[in-house]
């Protein structure tokens, strides 16, 4: 344990102080490190083991740690935060000091059925580009995405090299797309076996499902996308304000 962690004082609730000390320890140890046992922490900070267990439970609930049965509590990898600004996956990952990447699973020109056509605000039967990719951060799978774009707006996009490349960056550079706004919905889901395999985790693990429609500044739909993010590596940040006067 880090020897420079100060002892608990009598001026604040012990649980609150212990949480602060544990957060300092987590920051010092880094992702994947094993935390000291409940007994060691209780002795180090002169608190009851129940107090230690309660704060460790809170850290795990907040995604800062995770538990492995019969092994202990470990420091979790930091989560990637999606904010309110429309941005690409690649830019989000770079902004957090990591290297974005990806692996294309499907990239083809298809015919829009009624559902896809409605999402793109196009008539059924028009050509549509379908892109299915795994997205990574520092080589670790973070998300799986399915994207549909109007084919007539982006000729030959189905042939473009998209491994380890930002789709938004390509649309801007090659096709001069000026992004307007996006409407996005998020829901909590459990990964099925195929999704879990792509994301390098276990079936049944929690994930965040995003459904997004992105438009040009003119209002024309650019894409209809569905993205599945690992729940243990991703979270949403929202800036909320009260309603009323």
* Domain ranges across the chain: 14-75, 80-236
Q: How far is 82 from 148, CA to CA, in rounded Å?
A: 21
Question: Terminus-to-terminus CA distance in the chain, angstroms?
Answer: 51
Beta bridge mates, 97? none
Angle, CA of 95, 96 and 98, to the nearest 5°: 100
Q: What is the pLDDT of residues 11-59, one digit of tens each?
A: 778 888 888 888 888 888 877 789 999 999 988 888 899 999 999 988 8
- 93 pLDDT more than 80: no
pTM of the predicted model, to two decimals? 0.68
**Which residue, 135, 114, 128, is CA-closest to 223?**
128
On whether the CB atoms of residues 77 and 31 are closer than 8 A, the answer is yes
**Which residue, 215, 209, 126, is CA-closest to 171?**
215
* Dihedral (CA of 115, 119, 152, 87) sign: negative
**Which residue, 134, 154, 138, 156, is CA-closest to 146?**
134
- The predicted model gives 214-238 an average pLDDT of 85
More confident residue, 79 or 56: 56
- 96 pLDDT more than 70: yes
In order, the DSSP letters of 44-108 are HHT--HHHHHHHHHHHHHTTSEEEETTTEEEEPPPPEEE-SS---HHHHHHHTT--EEEEEEEEE
Q: How far is 42 from 50, CA to CA, in rounded Å?
A: 9
Q: 123 by DSSP, 3-state: which?
A: coil
Q: 14-75 in CATH: which number? A: 1.10.10.10
> What architecture (CATH level 2) is domain 80-236?
3-Layer(aba) Sandwich (3.40)
Q: How far is 232 from 63, CA to CA, in rounded Å?
A: 7
Q: Where are the alpha helices (DSSP H) in 176-245?
A: 193-199
Q: What is the pLDDT of residues 197-214, one digit of tens each?
A: 999 999 998 888 989 999
Given pLDDT bands bounded at 50, 70 and 90, which one contains residue 150? Answer: very high
Q: How far is 196 from 125, CA to CA, in rounded Å?
A: 33
Q: 152 by DSSP, 3-state: which?
A: helix
Q: Fold match between 14-75 and 80-236? A: no
More confident residue, 77 or 145: 145
- The predicted model gives 115-135 an average pLDDT of 95
Q: How far is 242 from 245, CA to CA, in rounded Å?
A: 9
């Amino acid at each position: 344990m880090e020897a420079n962690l100060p002892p608990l004082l009598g001026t604040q609730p012990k649980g609150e102080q212990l949480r602060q000390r544990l957060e300092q320890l987590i920051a010092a140890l880094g992702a994947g490190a094993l935390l000291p046992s409940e007994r060691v922490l209780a002795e180090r900070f002169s608190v009851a083991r129940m107090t230690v267990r309660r704060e460790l439970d809170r850290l795990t609930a907040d995604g800062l740690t995770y538990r492995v049965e019969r092994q202990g509590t470990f420091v979790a990898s930091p989560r990637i935060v999606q904010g309110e600004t429309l941005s690409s996956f690649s830019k989000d990952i770079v902004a957090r000091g990591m290297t974005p990447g990806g692996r294309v699973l499907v990239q083809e020109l298809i015919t829009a059925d009624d559902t896809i056509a409605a999402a793109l605000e196009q008539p059924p039967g028009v050509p549509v580009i379908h892109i299915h990719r795994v997205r990574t951060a520092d080589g670790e799978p973070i998300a799986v995405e399915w994207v549909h774009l109007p084919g007539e707006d982006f000729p030959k996009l189905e042939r473009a090299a998209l491994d380890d490349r930002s789709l938004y960056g390509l649309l801007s550079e090659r096709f001069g797309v000026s992004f307007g706004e996006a409407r996005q919905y998020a829901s909590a889901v459990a990964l099925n076996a195929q999704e879990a395999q792509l994301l390098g985790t276990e079936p049944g693990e929690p994930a965040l499902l995003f459904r997004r429609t992105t438009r040009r500044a003119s209002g024309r739909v650019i894409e209809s996308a569905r993205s599945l993010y690992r729940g243990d590596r991703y979270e949403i940040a929202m800036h909320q304000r009260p309603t009323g006067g």
